[in-house]
Amino acid sequence: DGAAAAGDSDTIRGVIGFSVGVGAAALVMLPSVGAFFLDGDSYGDERRFGLRCPGALVIVLGPLWLLGVGLPAVGLVLCAAQRWALGVPALLVGGPAALWLWAVAARLARRFAVFVPAGLTLVDPLSLADPVLFARNRTLSVEPASAAEPVASGGQRVDLSGAALGLAVELRTDGPTEIVTLSRPEERDNAATGSDDGGLAARLKSARMGVPRQADSVLFTPSRPAEFLLEARRTGLGRG
């Protein structure tokens, strides 16, 4: 009876621990929690809003997590049990995957839109070579993006959403604003073809170079679009 009671107690503790872990993981994934910590780095009169993960990364983040977090953890457990034949390969594969996952997560954590007194700043190391400030006195509107592309006034409509899931927001200005986006694969191929050597060195060089664009509207996807639009209205951005 005592052994059975001890077993039941261990089972109950295991269920409680698992439930607490699942609940903590669910809370961490809430947009409000992310917004709290993201805006915690704000200084002065500014407010930050995170940007949604690009659509392609949403699909691969699960396998990436298994490789970068699950595999090293399993490898450590196997090595602790002296099962070297399985533990060492798991660590050899999971270690580099963990470093790569850390680098991806660090870049995703630095993607946000910042309301500042001068206007709105977009920070996105996945699509922009440098942060871009859209001046308040040149911003015409900040609203949900329409499916139809507006008539450009000397510039172009630049999509920085990365095909992210959710409502995209469109910011329009009264004239072209220069932004420098990271080069796309087809642009790297064109740069390599047009260069003298046309080889790997040209592709690597073009990958590091940004592509200047004249934009009169940009699209991006905040993680909390309703709160973002309310903040834009509260601060008066887009009334010019």
Per the listing, tokens 């991806």 go with 104
227 or 208, which is more confident: 227
Confidence of residue 149 (pLDDT cuts 50, 70, 90): low
At 121 the pLDDT is 94
Q: What CA–CA distance (Å, rounded) separates 128 from 20?
A: 39
For the residues 34-61, what does the mean pLDDT come to? 82
For the residues 164-177, what does the mean pLDDT come to? 90
197 or 224, which is more confident: 224
For the residues 194-208, what does the mean pLDDT come to? 54
At 117 the pLDDT is 92
At 233 the pLDDT is 92
For the residues 223-239, what does the mean pLDDT come to? 90
Q: Which of 52, 31, 28 is nearest to 111 (CA)?
A: 52
Say how far residue 59 (Cα) sits from the centre of its chain: 13
For the residues 67-85, what does the mean pLDDT come to? 87
